[in-house]
Amino acid sequence: MNVFACVACGHVDFPRRLLCPSCGHDDFAEVAASTGSVEEVTILHHRAGKAGGDIAYLATVLTHAGPRLIVRLERLLASGAVVSLRLESDGAIVGFSD
């Protein structure tokens, strides 16, 4: 997946913003953010609209490209684990490790 780097000052953000929060410029270049490090994991039980017993793992991941993202992990991982990232068609970001 990609994040967005301001061409004027280099500030990197996700999702893309109308204006750079750092300098106000409005032109961005896409930068690959294919991996990151898990910071914190939250375990969600019984998600609304889903059958009971469904568990989801949400993590804050600091991407190697810079921005911090909220990511759904395919399985429970510890803080510090390195994950690969992919953007799903529904806009969710999934983190996985092999």
Q: Give the residues lining the site for Zn ion (CB under 5 A).
A: 6, 8-9, 11, 20, 22-23, 25
- Residue closer to Zn ion (CB basis): 3 or 83: 3
DSSP state of 81: -
Measured from the CB of residue 31, what is the shortest distance to Zn ion in angstroms? 13
- Residue closer to Zn ion (CB basis): 26 or 74: 26
In terms of Cβ atoms closer than 10 Å to its own Cβ (0-12, 13-18, 19+), residue 61 is: buried
Positive or negative: CA dihedral 47, 50, 52, 55? negative
Measured from the CB of residue 10, what is the shortest distance to Zn ion in angstroms? 7
